[in-house]
Amino acid sequence: MARFSPHTETQPDLSIRRTLFVAAFVAFWMLGISARLVYLQVSRHDKLAARAHEQQQDAIETSPTRGPVLDRQEHELARTIDTSSIFIAPDEFSQNKNDTDAQITGAIECTSQNLSSILGLDQKAVFNQISEARSGGRRFLWIARRVTPDKAQALEALELVAVHTRKEPKRFYPNGSLAANVLGFVGLDGNGLAGIEQVYNEKITGEPGKVFIEKDSRAGHTTAPKWRAGRVRQSF
């Protein structure tokens, strides 16, 4: 008659215990992960969503678009035209995590040279502004406001890293200095400072818009809502 050793009899028991131990470990591990996910999705959802929004998007208020001033025959005496302004997104100089400080500095220097040559700015000052903005964690830096169309087109053609253009309103008087003392004028902030522009400032002024800078893994892009403004008709 064949004899069975104690080792042979206990071997199945050990295998079952090991299987049960591994299964229990996996079950507890999955339970812990599920509990953590529930905690993040329920208890900390609002806080984490706000943090992600803050990291990925920034908003900058832009000048409102003023309505036109018309004479009694509906001819424009003053209107707003679009001009281009240039700004920098400093964090876009390091889109690749493997970029070294030397490479980033070189990119900033190249960009500052092109900007200074086209816009007539001091290259060293532009370089320092961009470097300080990047080291300070800023996501937006104005370089030039309301530049001429040819300068804006020249910069857009170069497709420089981190350089973007933004349409901004500028007051235009089709008849030049005609009735200038009556019409008045506006300041750089778009508010009327004299004449009709000042008296009816609240009615003519539109609502300010916003530039939204959204950052993803590749690049940033901007969008801006448009707002309506009132208009003024004068009997002259």
Q: Alpha-carbon distance 182 to 192, whole Å?
A: 12
pLDDT along the chain (236 residues), means of 10: 51 72 86 81 70 61 78 88 90 80 90 94 94 89 91 92 87 88 85 89 77 56 50 53
- Closest by CA to 69, choosing from 151, 180, 210, is 180
3-class secondary-structure state, position 224: coil
**Residue 202 CB-half CA count within 13 A:** 1
Give exposure, 136-158, as e/b (b: 16+ Cβ within 10 Å): eeebbbebbebbeeebbeebeee
pLDDT computed for residue 209 by the predictor: 66
pLDDT computed for residue 227 by the predictor: 47
pLDDT computed for residue 23 by the predictor: 85
107: how many CB neighbours lie within 10 A of its CB? 19
Q: Alpha-carbon distance 231 to 71, whole Å?
A: 11
pTM over 0.75: no
Secondary structure E strands in 4-56: none
Token output for 17 = 């215990």
21: how many CB neighbours lie within 10 A of its CB? 10
Q: Alpha-carbon distance 202 to 230, whole Å?
A: 9
Question: In this structure, which long-range contacts are made by residues 190-194, counting pairs with CB atoms below 8 Å and at least 24 apart in sequence?
Answer: 190/63, 190/64, 190/66
pLDDT computed for residue 204 by the predictor: 86
pLDDT computed for residue 214 by the predictor: 61
Pairing relationship of beta strands 163-172 and 210-215 according to DSSP bridges: unpaired
